[in-house]
Amino acid sequence: MLKCLTVGMTHWDNEVTAEDALGQAMLRERTEFFFAPAHIQKRVKDWGYEGYNQKTNEFMKARSNQSKDWMQCY
């Protein structure tokens, strides 16, 4: 495994032990934690509120248009 990306753990600040399944699976030197609210804060800082809203809206519009090709509504 080259990298372990941990996404959205509810107890991210708790230490895992070697006895924990997660603790055994994680390679700490190659583990990165991703937390969406912190990532959003970083993007707002990088792009400003207007830039973040514009990029987010463009992304969501593109994805919703793309889903028309495979999604069926009944």
> Residues 12-71: pLDDT tens digits?
555 555 456 565 565 667 777 777 888 889 999 999 999 999 999 999 999 998 888 788
Indicate yes or no: pTM above 0.75: no
Q: What is the pLDDT of residue 35?
A: 77
Angstrom distances, CA of residue 46 to CA of 3, 32, 49: 25, 20, 9
Q: Please, are residues 26 and 4 in contact by the beta-carbon 8 Å criterion?
A: yes
